[in-house]
Amino acid sequence: MTIKQQQLILGIVFLGIPLLWMLIWVVAPIFVVFYMSFTTYDVLSPMRWAGTWNYTDLWYDDLFWRAIGNTLYFTAVSLPAGVFLSLMLAVLVNRQLPFVGLFRTIFYMPVVTPLIAAALAWILFYETSAGMFNYTLDLLGISPVNWLNDQSTAMPAIIIMSVWKSLGYNMVIFLAALQSVPKELGEAAAIDGAGPVRRFWSITLPMLTPAMVYVVITSLIASFQVFAQVRVMTDGGPNNSTVTIVHYIYRTAFQNLQFGYASAMATIMFFLLIVASFVNLRLVGRRNVYD
Amino acid sequence: MSTIDPPDFDRRDRFADARVPTVRSVKLRRWMNNALGFYLPATIIALVMAFPLFWMLSLALKTNSQIFSYPPRLLETPLRWEHFVEIWSDPRMNIGIQTWNTLVYATVRTFMQVLLSAMAAFVLARYHFRGRNMIFYLVLATVMIPHEVMLVPLYLMVKAVPLAGGNDIWGTGGSGWLDTKAGLILPGILSGYSIFFLRQFFLTIPREVEEAARIDGCSEFAIFWRIAIPMSLPALTALGIFSFQFAWSDYTWPLVISTSEESRTLQLGLAMFSSHDGTDWAMLLTGAAISTLPLIALFVLLQRFIVTGINFGVGK
Amino acid sequence: MKRMIYAATLATTALASAAFAQDQVTLDFWEGHSLQEEGATIKMIEAFEESHPHISINRVKTSFGTNFEAITTALASNTAPDVSPIWSGFLSQFAARGALVDLTEHGVTDPSGSIYPGAVDYVTWDGGIYGLPYAFDPRFIVYNAAALEEAGLEPAETFDEMISMAEQLAVVGDDGTVVRYGFGLGSADALAYFFINLLYAQGGDVFNEDGTQAAFNDEAGVAAGEIIARLAEQPGNTLNAQGDVVRQGVLTGRIAMVYDGPWVFHTAAQDDTSQEFVVGSVPTVAESDDPLNFGSVGAYVVYEQSEHPEEAAEFVRFLASPEAQQFRVEALKPGVSPDVLNQDVAQQTFDEWPALRTAQEELANSRIFPKHENWSAVYQAIIPAIEAIVSGDDVQGALDSAARQADRALRR
């Protein structure tokens, strides 16, 4: 067989099997969701065609807009903070010293703790009448704060917990990318008199672009889909200040049994994310590393 | 712990040696640099990062009322280590079977995910053909719909798998893969994330390596199996660890798909401690600590691979 | 359909019992009870299987949390169990959509005489009986006994008294730090139920008469909201994210009083360091008013997809009977049947926990939330409004905007 023939067969088999599997178990359900968004469906009775009704209704749904706003707030703070801090952590542990592995493990551990349990522990930190934070304030003679029960502090409280939970994951990816930056480049620049900050900025950072693209896109998607910690810690309250898109979708589907309406929200979110990822690919990945 | 890296005189230090003559002052300076530049900040950050984890463990070692006592105490004596024994016979959780189920779930899913993603990512990264980028962007787009809305369609599909669980060829009449390990594992073995991840890596394998192999008469399959896979073994390990951890922590899919003890996972077991009547915090956190241990062990064992594993865009 | 899953179980059971009964029936029973309730449920099932040898119960532990993802998806694909517990708005939602069996078609008669009226109300829908209650939790005020004694106070009788008591019992320092909180307001669910209780007490209702519009923003609603606003204003009262924390707060003396239900008994029983507590009825507007509290019901329902509705109906009827309910009292929950007071096990428990008897008697005055097939959407509009009131928003304005949200949900 010629190389071309081999490549053709390999390409068809290697790409075909996974894509077929994805077509069945990932793409098909997505199309069902698209379809459901044009129906009213409560699971218990058959779907009914509703045209674009769900979408027009969404337009007038204040809470949906609120959810989008809250999600953007969450993303706008947690994404840059998370990316920046995990990069700093990666730089910190990117060295060969005794015990560095121990530090890496500690920084990674929050990632692997079950989210429900971690959220419960954080609730106890934040609790008004018996929490650790308010106890500390009390020792300093400051009156207590309703961390999770105040509209202005609830979202920051969730953001802090979420950043803590996911720092290690991105740190590992940055760490790997840092390790592959050739040391010679830094040394050459040092000889030329560049300080460590400038070396990092003009040499290391550009080399990190591919990792940055991956981290930013996956963090963007993850923060757009933030749900579990919101559900456990505040369930959207107080006064809807922490309702996020997926939280609202979940509630609409599984509490109000409006699967059609929930699907319409999911569809809109899908397109929002496509646009956001595209913009991000253009901005972060403009040194195009893809081809 | 087996993760402690040996001391290493890296090149920057040798560079410094050239400028500073006495060995003793070099050692002292290096020690000072390491202490102030690494150990001090790293220890402070580690304390902050680890405190919630320590807190979770300390909660697991308290009784439920001690958990809520005010002022909060770091540790209460006696430490209730017996929770870690009692949980193995707690009727709510069935932690033994569930650990086994989760292990099977996470292991099988991880292996299939790594293999299938590697196949797809290899073709998407190394071969040039029309529509390649289109396919890649479509694959990436699939991760942008929240999993929660897909539960019902997926569930209906799992039930309608032909010739399984008493189904006829049209997928009717039986329960399909519902409440089976197949139904738990198979629908989730591929995700856009993992293909994205590996494609980023395969892009970085130098073209020369591939060309040289072809000249030596390697078949295309051998290039994948004997060159691409070994070269990216670290990346595959990293992906493996990440997918293992995601499968291990997965909650909603196991929740809807498993009804019997034979397919229930640890996360579902943990959720049993939280009910309409309130939460059994101590046991929940004990279970959480136990269910976290294998993941930490895995990271400790394999972190070398991760660290040298993900190698984006460099060396191209 | 789900028979396939349990085909093996069935076959074994059938073999073993073929000699005794030809028509052995196995019912799938999904539950997600707490440890406290589970113990009682196991005893109830044992008693049932003993008196009904031809029916066996396959109890499946399912994690429900507060929702029914597992059941909802199972219903979608026709693999639902025969029987499961259900609570909050789900019964009306499911009944309105034809997913539940009307038990009157299977020999269940109107349970009004044998079960508290509030609980009967919950399972009645459109002239049918779509489940039988197994749990009925009244609300009352729990006081830390030491705090009451120290101030020389008795449980409050009117809301005004309650508010001034909260202020008296709180111990707040000059710098704003708090040694003991007065009233534990909780959050989300706790706040919303408290509001509905107050709304009922003021003579108001959530919906208008035909259920087409929200009515909780009328005078009664505003009066109810004002009470919450006044409590929230006082510096010594606390909001908390978790019900457990508030309850434990009263038991440790960190909080003086809380609006809570029978969960406090179980919590106190589990812990030997907890302080004494006193249970008082929910106050009224005026001393002469009839006592009234908010009660939440859990019911066992039979799904339309069940192949053995007759046997399933028999099972849920048994679970609501006094002889089954006594095991719940033993687990420190009130029974749904007033006759449970005559059962031996229950009487022993009541002697040991006199406050539990008070809670049990409160059930006669318990009123549930309105039944409405869109209740959950309306409820989701009420919670943020009360949270807004707590944070100092204008009461009328917050309720009006919630009513608009609710009306919008009703029109859908």
**pLDDT tens, per residue, chain C with 412 residues:** 444 444 444 444 444 444 444 579 999 999 888 878 888 999 999 999 999 999 999 998 887 766 677 888 888 878 889 999 998 888 998 999 899 999 999 989 889 889 999 999 999 998 999 999 999 999 999 999 999 999 999 999 999 999 999 999 999 988 888 999 999 998 888 999 999 999 999 999 999 988 899 999 999 999 999 999 999 999 888 888 788 888 989 999 999 999 999 999 988 888 777 889 999 999 999 999 999 999 999 999 999 999 999 999 999 999 999 999 999 999 999 999 999 989 999 999 999 999 999 999 999 999 999 888 889 889 999 999 999 999 999 999 999 999 999 999 888 7
* Run of H or E including C57: strand C55-61
Pairwise CB contact (< 8 Å): A130 & C75: no
Alpha carbon B282 to its chain centroid, in Å, reads 25
C178 contacts on A by Cβ (under 8 Å): 129, 138, 143-144
Query: What's the token pair of residue B26?
Result: 């070099």
* Same-domain pairing of C159 and C248: yes
Q: B147-177 pLDDT, tens per residue?
A: 888 888 888 888 888 887 777 777 777 778 8
Of C342, C351, C380, C340, nearest to C135 (Cα)? C340
pLDDT of residue A96: 81
* Same-domain pairing of C37 and C86: yes
CB atoms closer than 10 angstroms to residue A236:
26
Provide the phi-psi class of B310: left if phi over 0, else alpha when psi is between -120 and 50, else beta: beta
**Cβ contact B136:B247 at 8 Å:** no
**Cβ contact C262:C356 at 8 Å:** yes
Structural domain of residue C242, as residue ranges? 140-294+375-411
Would you call C224 helix, strand, or coil by DSSP? helix
pLDDT of residue B35: 83
Alpha-carbon gap: C88 to the closest alpha carbon of chain A (Å): 10
Q: For chain B, give every domain's residue range.
A: 11-83, 87-307
* Same-domain pairing of C257 and C323: no
Find the CB nearest B220 among A7, A24, A28.
A7
DSSP per-residue codes, B259-280: -SGGG--HHHHHHTTEETTEE-
Output the CA torsion sign for C83, C85, C91, C97: negative
pLDDT of residue B307: 63
* Same-domain pairing of C302 and C280: no
* Same-domain pairing of C248 and C382: yes
Taking every pair of Cα atoms in chain B, the longest distance, rounded to a whole number of angstroms, is: 84
* Run of H or E including C169: helix C159-169
* Same-domain pairing of C406 and C346: no
In angstroms, the CA A265 to CA A280 distance is 22
Give the CA count within 13 Å in the CB-facing half-sphere of C327.
20
Among chain C residues, CA nearest to B156: C77
Q: Which residues contact B191 (CB under 8 A, 6 or more apart)?
A: A26, B113, B142, B143
Give start and end residues of each alpha helix (H) in C275-321.
309-319
Find the CB nearest B3 among A43, A102, A111.
A102
pLDDT of residue B209: 84
Q: C253-291 pLDDT, tens per residue?
A: 999 999 999 999 988 888 777 889 999 999 999 999 999
A103 contacts on B by Cβ (under 8 Å): 42, 46
Give the CA count within 13 Å in the CB-facing half-sphere of C11.
5
Q: What share of chain B is helix, strand, coil (3-state, %, to 5)?
A: 70, 0, 30
Q: Looking up tokens 């660890």, which residue turns up?
A: B241
Pairwise CB contact (< 8 Å): B187 & A25: yes
What residues in chain A have their Cβ under 8 A from chain C's Cβ atoms?
42-45, 57, 60-63, 123-124, 126-130, 137-138, 141-144, 146, 148-151, 233-235, 237-240, 251, 254-258, 261
Interface partners of chain B (CB pairs < 8 Å, 3 or more) are: A, C
**Cβ contact C60:C82 at 8 Å:** no
pLDDT of residue B156: 82
Query: What are the two backbone dihedrals, phi and then psi, of residue C339, each rounded to the nearest 5 degrees?
Result: -65, -10
Mutation to test the B interface, candidates C2, C3, C5, most B Cβ within 10 Å: C5
Decide which of C65 and B205 is more confident.
B205
User: Side chain identity at C137, as an amino acid letter?
Assistant: D
* Same-domain pairing of C248 and C357: no
* Same-domain pairing of C188 and C251: yes
Q: Determine the average pLDDT of the residues in B1-24.
A: 47
**Cβ contact C125:C92 at 8 Å:** yes
* Same-domain pairing of C348 and C227: no
Pairwise CB contact (< 8 Å): B65 & C249: no
Q: Looking up tokens 């003559």, which residue turns up?
A: B21
Q: Angle A221-A226-A232 (CA atoms, 0-180°, nearest 5)?
A: 160
Query: What's the token pair of residue B15?
Result: 């560079």
**Taking a contact as any Cβ pair under 8 Å apart, which residues of chain C between 141 and 180 contact chain A?**
175-178
Q: A184-222 pLDDT, tens per residue?
A: 777 777 788 777 788 888 888 887 887 888 889 889 999
Share of chain B above pLDDT 70, in %: 90
Would you call C116 helix, strand, or coil by DSSP? coil
Q: For chain A, give every domain's residue range.
A: 57-284
B vs C: CB pairs below 8 A: 108
Please list the residues that pair with C158 across neighbouring strands.
C284
Which ipTM value was assigned to this complex?
0.85
* Same-domain pairing of C254 and C392: yes
Interface partners of chain A (CB pairs < 8 Å, 3 or more) are: B, C
> What is the architecture of the domain spanning B87-307?
Orthogonal Bundle (1.10)
Query: What are the two backbone dihedrals, phi and then psi, of residue A65, each rounded to the nearest 5 degrees?
Result: -65, -40
A164 contacts on B by Cβ (under 8 Å): 49, 52
Mutation to test the B interface, candidates A1, A4, A15, A86, most B Cβ within 10 Å: A15
* Same-domain pairing of C236 and C308: no
Pairwise CB contact (< 8 Å): C377 & A239: no
Among chain C residues, CA nearest to B63: C271
Alpha-carbon gap: B216 to the closest alpha carbon of chain A (Å): 13
Q: A125-139 pLDDT, tens per residue?
A: 999 888 899 999 999
Of C142, C176, C371, nearest to C252 (Cα)? C142
C266 touches chain B (CB under 8 A): yes
C65 contacts on A by Cβ (under 8 Å): none
Pairwise CB contact (< 8 Å): B3 & A89: no
Least confident of B170-174, B189-193, B266-270: B170-174
Find the CB nearest C376 among A141, A235, A256.
A256
Q: B271-288 pLDDT, tens per residue?
A: 888 777 778 888 889 998
Pairwise CB contact (< 8 Å): B119 & A107: no
Find the CB nearest C188 among A129, A143, A235.
A235
* Same-domain pairing of C235 and C332: no
Please list the residues that pair with C26 across neighbouring strands.
C56
- B194 to A226, A267, C337: CA distances (angstroms): 20, 23, 56
CB atoms closer than 10 angstroms to residue A184:
9
Mutation to test the A interface, candidates B95, B122, B149, most A Cβ within 10 Å: B149
In angstroms, the CA C72 to CA A253 distance is 10
In angstroms, the CA B180 to CA B161 distance is 12
C408 contacts on A by Cβ (under 8 Å): 60-61
Domains of chain C: total: 2
C97 contacts on A by Cβ (under 8 Å): 42, 44-45, 257
According to CATH, the topology of domain A57-284 is MetI-like fold (1.10.3720)
User: Side chain identity at C258, as an amino acid letter?
Assistant: V
